[in-house]
Chain A
Amino acid sequence: QQPVQSPQAVILREGEDAVINCSSSKALYSVHWYRQKHGEAPVFLMILLKGGEQKGHEKISASFNEKKQQSSLYLTASQLSYSGTYFCGTENMIKAAGNKLTFGGGTRVLVKP
């Protein structure tokens, strides 16, 4: 079952903040975050492992609450370059061989000047 991302879309002005949530019904080992710009391939942003780690990439950071089986991505002081679709990918605690990820439906982010 796919993790659920919310919101589905968000429009920001440059400099504003936003939070994207990713919730799973299964116990998670890790959460990956990717960004896909229009017409391009998804690009890796960060991985969070169980243990509540917080990671950062530029002014984009994320947290992972393994008890709640959810992760949040924080876009701080957004820039025009942050526009795109953000996907979370979750890896279950009970893992198959290889790091199989299950991706959410994506959150479209548009940052306006």
Chain B
Amino acid sequence: DVKVTQSSRYLVKRTGEKVFLECVQDMDHENMFWYRQDPGLGLRLIYFSYDVKMKEKGDIPEGYSVSREKKERFSLILESASTNQTSMYLCASSLAPPYEQYFGPGTRLTVT
């Protein structure tokens, strides 16, 4: 079974803090993705990576950056957290297209 794990299920941070969300997959998938999920807005893509050290902006990259130094690990970085970044963050991975994406359990981030 494909397993996608995320570093925390719940996280509370203060405004202005630097926040790291980590995602690890164990199936040698080329593609990895970071989404945020908000009620009524579905899943919105923040960034994705199709290879080590390669990254592409998604639909809402502002305020975020990413890092992929190893194939199995994809990190999402909030350089200076703001209250409007309070959300559920989901990581996913997949083989080369057009294969299905496998999602992690999510991290619920609250910025106060």
Contact = CB atoms under 8 A, between A and B. Distances in A.
A binds B: yes
Interface of A: 2, 5, 8, 29-30, 32, 34, 40-44, 47, 49, 87, 89, 91, 95-106
Interface string B60-90: 0000000000000000000000000000001
9 A-B pairs with least C-beta separation: A99-B97, A98-B50, A44-B100, A41-B103, A103-B43, A105-B42, A103-B42, A98-B31, A97-B50
A29 B103 CA distance: 22
A34 B37 CA distance: 14
Contacts of B106: 41
A105 B96 CA distance: 25
A91 B98 contact: yes
B90 A41 contact: yes
30 contacts: A2-B41, A2-B44, A5-B42, A30-B97, A30-B98, A34-B101, A40-B105, A41-B4, A41-B90, A41-B103, A41-B104, A44-B102, A47-B100, A87-B42, A89-B43, A91-B98, A95-B97, A97-B56, A98-B30, A98-B48, A98-B56, A98-B97, A99-B94, A99-B96, A99-B97, A99-B101, A102-B45, A103-B45, A105-B40, A105-B42
Interface of B: 4, 30-31, 33, 35, 40-45, 48-50, 54, 56, 58-59, 90, 94, 96-106
Contacts of A47: 98-100
Contact of A42 (B41, B50, B59, B103): B103
B83 to A, nearest CB: 22
Contacts of A99: 31, 94, 96-99, 101
Contacts of B103: 41-43
Contacts of B105: 40-41
Contacts of B41: 2, 105
Contact of B45 (A5, A34, A43, A101): A101
